[in-house]
Chain A
Amino acid sequence: MPGQGQNWRGESPSPRNQGVCLLCDLRNGESATITEIVGDHPQPPLLESYGFVPGVRVVRERTAPQGDPIIFRIEGRLVALRREDAMQISVRRKERE
């Protein structure tokens, strides 16, 4: 039985992994910092040219009427990304102050 604050393997969550999730899992209005581009994305340079690189802050602005694509504010601009592409970017949620 894992104790409190431990995951199913019984490990304590390292501070490195705390709050890490996929970009598409953010809620509207929530902001986060990109940690890495995961998976075998066909075109990481394309994402990079729109600012999707580790270390950059991103805010999930809103969702398109049919639930996809998702609109993010990144580096001052609004960028729409399909959910399947947003699933390949991992982010760390901004800690609540």
Chain B
Amino acid sequence: MSLGTIPAARGRRVVQAGSLAQARPGIRAVALVGPPNCGKSTLYNRLTGTRQKVANYPGVTVEYRVGKLASDRNISVIDLPGIRGRQPHSEDEEVAWKVLQRESPGVAPPDAVFLILDGTRLDSQLPLALEVLALGLPTLVLVNLADALLERGGALDVASLEGSLGVPVGLVSATQGTGLECIGQFLKVDRPSEPPKLPPVIQDSSGCRTWARRVVEDSRYRLPKESVWTKRLDSFFLHPFFGPAFLLLATVLVFQSVFSAGQWLGNGIDEGLRRADAAIRPAIPNEILRSLLMDGLWKGMGSVIVFLPPILLLFLFLGLMEDSGYLGRAAVISDRMMARIGLNGKCFIPLLAGYGCAVPAIMATRVVGSKRDRLATIFVIPFITCSARLPVYTLLIAAFVPQGMILGGLIGLRACALLGLYVLGFLAAVATAKLLNSTVLDNSRMPFVLELPEYRLPRLRSLAIMLLERAKIFLAQVGTVVLGVSFAIWFLAHLPIRTGQLATMNDSLLSRAGHWLEPLVHPLGFNWKIAVGLLTSFVAREVMVGTLGTIYGADPGATTQSLGTALQRDLTLPGAMALLVFFALAMQCTSTFAVVRRETNSWRWPVLQFVYMGTLAYVCAWIVNLCFGLIL
């Protein structure tokens, strides 16, 4: 699982054929397997030609991916989650073994296996190789990270290793693309029909290790020296003082730049949209059509699109942390805190992913291992401030919080308000986790074991592709859900048509529906327009902004104003605070609901979550409106 990719964007891919290597007719599907952090995803991207996230963290590839081999489109490649040994310790390892045993329905059973091993620590990975070879499938062993192995003074005799394992072996570097010829050869060569000579299958682990030691000696394998860079960087990033200080500073900087740079870029888009609006408007002859297209759809979609830059910035920072290997260090620094709220540091990764989007974050909980911690994490993830809340937050903060610097110019008042909302979401998650631990969930302890990958330079290309993917997902949402809702809202705002005239805002169906809802949200300080926006936000949070854009687009008094200014007329400061708090706490996302239903395989959890978060949001928003109303 990667932080930046959601499963919908990751289905089957057909990739254009490169040089064609005629394969043996028997092989139609190849499975890529290997331990975590062996460079499997990089290799997958190279083989299929599609580039996705580079797995640099244990369990990044939670779901397997299927693509077509670039050199032969008849062969599909299945990218499986990382495995450590025959005994699966998490649900994604279970998935991997099921596919390998050809027992997984819905996945093409693999006819051959590419076993990828990390060349910089081959010795410890041979027991796993033995277990994979015991499956009896035609196997090609790819010893990856050849560049790091040779650079740091390691050595390996490939021919001897082939002799010991009884299968072909290739020394490759997935990042540099060297040594990959062996794959074409493996697929081309007509192998005898009898199974290859397998190494002895040893049941007990000590026998396995003895065998591995012998193989290592026979193949004249020399371990490379430890990476100097990892040691140097760790002595800073895990320094008793500088480590946490850097984590804190980085967090503050991320929010500050998401707010200021993101908004600055967003304003540019806004300006462009407004100019286009002025240019297109006179070209539409019919008045009703003009109103529908420009005031309804253009305003509705435009008001959401301007939030693309801050969202992409946020994903860029998350991607940088993930690809560089820093994410694991952040998990180690925060483990103490996570332990205090009854979770382990491994839950930190899904929680952090929640800052991007709750859907992949909930799927990432599969790496947590313990069922109990996993349920608790799934339950609290929607409290984490996801990127869909950003449009609403930035809109309201820019409209209601004055500009200005605090803390001696270190951080702006608005960025501080934004950070405050992030903290609020985090505190709600913490409190809920504590509550769950002391009530619903049993208290069996699971060990915390976390592998820290070596630091790697993030690859610009893979980051760019991840951002492109995120942008596509966001724009697809704008083009479908936001478009549809804007369309519906425009009609409701202009119906019924009497004597050929569109209804005015005040006697439209929308206004009637809004007024009917108003008593429900009045205690929170919202009027009927906000009520309508709130109703549509339960589809997805950012839809609210599009709805408001359409409502104010239809309002003759507000068409010339920006959305923020229009809101200032309609919402009091306490009401705006209440609205922000409501958005921080409520579960307004149908995708999240669906993914929780799927991952927990029950209706009970998502329903419980929805009711719990909704009630909490309503009560807290009500208290905020009441208290601020008394003070201000």
* B243 cross-chain contacts in A, Cβ below 8 A: 64-65
- From A81, which residue of chain B is reached at the shortest CB distance? B449
Query: How far is it, in angstroms, between the C-alpha of A49 and the C-alpha of B205 when the chains are bound?
Result: 10
Contact in complex: B451, A78 (CB < 8 Å): yes
- From A74, which residue of chain B is reached at the shortest CB distance? B124
Contact in complex: A42, B339 (CB < 8 Å): no
Chain B interface mostly = mixed
* A43 cross-chain contacts in B, Cβ below 8 A: 89, 446-447
Contact in complex: A62, B238 (CB < 8 Å): yes
Contact in complex: B121, A62 (CB < 8 Å): no
Known contacts A55-B209, A64-B333; decide if A71 and B238 are in contact (CB<8 Å).
yes
For residue B206, CB closer than 8 A to chain A, the reply is: yes
Contact in complex: A85, B448 (CB < 8 Å): yes
Known contacts A62-B235, A64-B333, A65-B243; decide if A82 and B209 are in contact (CB<8 Å).
no
Contact in complex: B451, A48 (CB < 8 Å): no
Q: Which of B37, B448, B454 has the most CB of A within 10 A?
A: B448
Contact in complex: A48, B332 (CB < 8 Å): no
For residue A20, CB closer than 8 A to chain B, the reply is: no
Give the contact-size bracket for chain B: 35 or more
For residue A77, CB closer than 8 A to chain B, the reply is: yes
- From A51, which residue of chain B is reached at the shortest CB distance? B124
For residue A30, CB closer than 8 A to chain B, the reply is: no
> Residue A75 contacts which of B37, B124, B446 (CB distance < 8 angstroms)?
B124
Give chain B interface residues in 107-136, CB to chain A under 8 Å.
120-121, 123-124
Known contacts A55-B209, A69-B345; decide if A82 and B238 are in contact (CB<8 Å).
no
* B37 cross-chain contacts in A, Cβ below 8 A: 77
Known contacts A43-B446, A80-B345; decide if A65 and B239 are in contact (CB<8 Å).
yes
Contact in complex: A50, B240 (CB < 8 Å): no
For residue A19, CB closer than 8 A to chain B, the reply is: no
Q: Which of A43, A49, A51, A53 has the most CB of B within 10 A?
A: A49
Give the distance to chain A from B341, nearest Cβ to Cβ, in Å: 14
Query: How far is it, in angstroms, between the C-alpha of A18 and the C-alpha of B85 when the chains are bound?
Result: 33
Give the distance to chain B from A41, nearest Cβ to Cβ, in Å: 7
- From B93, which residue of chain A is reached at the shortest CB distance? A49
Contact in complex: A64, B335 (CB < 8 Å): yes
Number of A-B contacts (CB under 8 A): 111
For residue B450, CB closer than 8 A to chain A, the reply is: yes
Contact in complex: A69, B446 (CB < 8 Å): no
Contact in complex: B120, A47 (CB < 8 Å): no
For residue A1, CB closer than 8 A to chain B, the reply is: no
* B244 cross-chain contacts in A, Cβ below 8 A: 65-66
Contact in complex: B447, A85 (CB < 8 Å): yes
Contact in complex: B449, A47 (CB < 8 Å): yes
Give the distance to chain A from B306, nearest Cβ to Cβ, in Å: 39
* B328 cross-chain contacts in A, Cβ below 8 A: 80
* A49 cross-chain contacts in B, Cβ below 8 A: 84-85, 87, 89
> Residue B89 contacts which of A45, A55, A69, A79 (CB distance < 8 angstroms)?
A45
> Residue B333 contacts which of A62, A66, A82 (CB distance < 8 angstroms)?
A66
For residue B226, CB closer than 8 A to chain A, the reply is: yes
Give the distance to chain A from B433, nearest Cβ to Cβ, in Å: 18
Known contacts A45-B89, A55-B209; decide if A85 and B234 are in contact (CB<8 Å).
no
For residue B197, CB closer than 8 A to chain A, the reply is: no
Give chain A interface residues in 73-93, CB to chain B under 8 Å.
73, 75-82, 85
Give chain A interface residues in 14-41, CB to chain B under 8 Å.
41
Other 11 A-B pairs with CB < 8 A, given A64-B238, A76-B124, A78-B452: A42-B447, A45-B89, A49-B84, A65-B333, A71-B234, A76-B121, A76-B226, A78-B451, A80-B331, A80-B449, A80-B451
27 contacts between A and B (CB under 8 A): A42-B444, A42-B446, A42-B447, A45-B87, A47-B447, A48-B205, A50-B451, A55-B206, A65-B238, A65-B333, A76-B121, A76-B123, A77-B37, A77-B124, A78-B451, A79-B451, A80-B335, A80-B345, A80-B449, A80-B451, A80-B452, A81-B449, A82-B335, A82-B339, A82-B344, A82-B447, A85-B447
Closest 5 CB pairs of A and B: A76-B121, A75-B124, A49-B84, A78-B452, A66-B336
